[in-house]
Amino acid sequence: MRQIDHFMPTASPAPARTHKVWNPSTGEVQAEVVLGDAALLDAAVATAQSVQPAWAATNPQKRARVMFKFKELVETNMQSLAEMLSSEHGKTVDDAKGDVQRGLEVIEYACGIPQVLKGEYTQGAGPGIDVYSVRQPLGIGAGITPFNFPAMIPMWMFGMAIAVGNAFILKPSERDPSVPVRLAELFIEAGAPEGLLQVIHGDKVMVDAILDHPAISAVSFVGSSDIAHYVYRRGAENGKRIQAMGGAKNHGIVMPDADLDQVVNDLAGAAFGSAGERCMALPVVVPVGEDTANKLREKLIPAINALRIGVSNDPDAHYGPVVTPEHKARIEQWITTAEEEGAEIVIDGRGFSLQGHEDGFFVGPTLIDQVTPTMASYQEEIFGPVLQMVRANDFEDALRLPSEHQYGNGVAIFTRNGHAAREFASRVNVGMVGINVPIPVPVAYHSFGGWKRSGFGDIDQYGTEGLAFWTKRKKVTQRWPDGGGDGSNAFVIPTMG
């Protein structure tokens, strides 16, 4: 069986523990990934410490050239990366290409690091005194990334961290680890020194080792909210800078004046694309008024029934399998829970079987109506191809639902009314807002981050926030006297004579 090892210059020890890597489309184990421990992390940190000072001393334009070359190599290898990603995650190849491309957008931003790293300067802040500030790297950063975006989120993290002068240690999800390793190989091929970007695999043992290691200055995490809170707390206790992005339960508010055909088209992609395994998926739709709800439901049913579920390399599939058999069982249990709570299962995706791939981890598209805010299935993240409908009486009722929910990652409002959209965007207690945009992920030169239990830490991902997270600001106040003996002419400009 194929073995996926760590990507680091030093030889890793014989594997004591491994983790299965499934092919979600067939239900077969296709590889085993080697899991590391604290001793392996020590070796990776030692390597990072040996290469980071020289990289930090490399001028920004030379670091940018590595980023440019890496971007070119990833684009050249786009098809093979997407196929590799799909085979382990289950998302379609086209969706996998989007995963890679959204990560590349942050790499493109990092290519401009000479511009964004420029500091501030004040001449004459006092008599003969100038003040300036510069951003300097932290030293060694680490990233702990989830299974659902094995290309995008690692590039969000290491692109900015390395561009500003840090070394980086990545611990990707053990469920789909091959693409992060391949990205690291391409990064070295692009001209980065060996050991600057290392990929080490592991489970909670490795996560704890990262959070406890005294030489790692900052950790970026994306995953479930309970683990995000744990990462934030333990890392902060150890004096680290932490950003920990958690789960979500994003709402789509549908006003009575919305274009329902467009809403249905948007919901089909936002709720069911990538089998709903996105922290920015849109799994809750909130029609305002019974008439809006009934009309929307009438249009949703045929659209959802028309979705094609297929293997990850099926070019006609709207979405593929979920990542593991355990996750499939968890999603189906949430549908059962909603039914037991009194919700109406309008379209039931439990027990879905794809002909010829009966052992694959497929869940059919599911629509649940008559969901209420007290139901556990509404309060918690399902992370699957399940769309819940919560009916709102009016605008204020619709505004209250996402604002009071424990998660605050993303929200969208569908309307033709500019005043309603402006009022909603201003008042809703959620970190990222879309107006007639179902998945409001900001572009790379802005920043990504949710509120409440969707994000722990004060600094967001990528953009100027990413620059701030991966650097520390040094402030210098300077005065240059002329060196005259008693200082009486300390501020006289020297002359040539």
Summarised one tens digit per residue, pLDDT across range 428-449 is 999 999 999 999 999 999 999 9
Average pLDDT over residues 154-178: 98
> Which residues does residue 399 pair with via DSSP β-bridges, in sequence order?
none
Confidence check: pLDDT of 494 > 50: no
What is each CA distance from 304 to 250, 292, 407, in whole angstroms?
19, 18, 26
Find the mean pLDDT for residues 32-57: 97
CATH topology for 2-246+462-477?
A: Aldehyde Dehydrogenase; Chain A, domain 1 (3.40.605)
The structure tokens 């297929």 sit at 310
Whether 485 has a pLDDT exceeding 80, the answer reads no
The predicted pLDDT at position 482 comes to 76
Question: Does residue 195 contact residue 80 with C-beta atoms inside 8 Å?
Answer: no
The catalytic position among 167, 279, 281, 317 is 279
Query: CB atoms < 10 A from the CB of 291, how many?
Result: 10
Q: Give the pLDDT of residue 491.
A: 53
Query: What CATH number belongs to 251-435?
Result: 3.40.309.10
The arithmetic mean of pLDDT across residues 154-170, rounded, is: 98
Domain boundary assignment for the chain = 2-246+462-477, 251-435
Are 145 and 153 in contact by the 8 Å Cβ rule? The answer is: yes
Mean pLDDT, the chain, rounded, equals 95
Rg (C-alpha) for the chain, rounded Å, is: 25
Whether residue 409 is predicted with pLDDT greater than 50 in this model: the reply is: yes
Annotated active-site residue 111? The verdict is: no
Stretch 311-330: mean pLDDT: 96
Is the pLDDT reported for residue 496 higher than 50?
no
pLDDT given for residue 155 in this prediction: 98
Q: Which of 75-89, 257-271, 326-340, 480-494 has the lowest mean pLDDT?
A: 480-494
- Compute the C-alpha angle 92/444/270, nearest 5°: 40
**pLDDT bucket at 291, cuts 50 / 70 / 90:** very high
Q: What pLDDT score was predicted for residue 15?
A: 74
Confidence class for position 196, pLDDT limits 50, 70, 90: very high
Residue 233 has pLDDT above 80, yes or no: yes
Query: What pLDDT score was predicted for residue 497?
Result: 45
Tell me, yes or no, if the two domains 2-246+462-477 and 251-435 fold the same way: no
Q: Closest Cα partner for 312 from 81, 87, 152?
A: 87
Residue whose tokens read 């970190």: 431
Q: How far is CA 422 from CA 64, 152, 414, 476, in A?
A: 39, 31, 12, 42
Tokens of 299: 């249009």
**Residue 7 confidence (pLDDT) above 90:** yes
pLDDT at 360 over 80: yes
Q: For residue 296, name the pLDDT band (cuts at 50, 70, 90).
A: very high
Query: Residue 16's pLDDT is what?
Result: 82
In this prediction, residue 487 has a pLDDT band, given cuts at 50, 70 and 90, of: low
Q: What is the pLDDT of residue 488?
A: 54
Residue 244 CA to residue 251 CA, distance in Å, equals: 21
pLDDT at 431: 97
pLDDT at 1 over 90: no
The 3-class secondary structure across the chain, one letter per residue, is CEEECCECCCCCCCCCEEEEEEECCCCEEEEEEEECCHHHHHHHHHHHHHHHHHHHHCCHHHHHHHHHHHHHHHHHCHHHHHHHHHHHHCCCHHHHHHHHHHHHHHHHHHCCHHHHCCCEEEEEEECCEEEEEEEEECCEEEEECCCCCCCHHHHHHHHHHHHCCCEEEEECCCCCCHHHHHHHHHHHHCCCCCCCEEECCCCHHHHHHHHHCCCCCEEEEECCHHHHHHHHHHHHHCCCEEEEECCCCCEEEECCCCCHHHHHHHHHHHHHHHHHCCCCCCCEEEEECHHHHHHHHHHHHHHHHCCCECCCCCCCCCECCCCCHHHHHHHHHHHHHHHHCCCEEEECCCCCCECCECCCCCCCCEEEECCCCCCHHHHCCCCCCEEEECCECCHHHHHHHHHHCCEECEEEEECCCHHHHHHHHHHCCCCEEEECCCCCCCCCCCCECCEECCEECCCCECHHHHHHHCEEEEEEEEECCCCCCCCCCCCCCCCCC
Q: What's the CA gap between 277 and 272, in Å, rounded?
A: 8
Query: Using CA atoms, how far apart are residues 421 and 385, in angstroms rounded to an integer?
Result: 27
Residue 437: the pLDDT is: 97
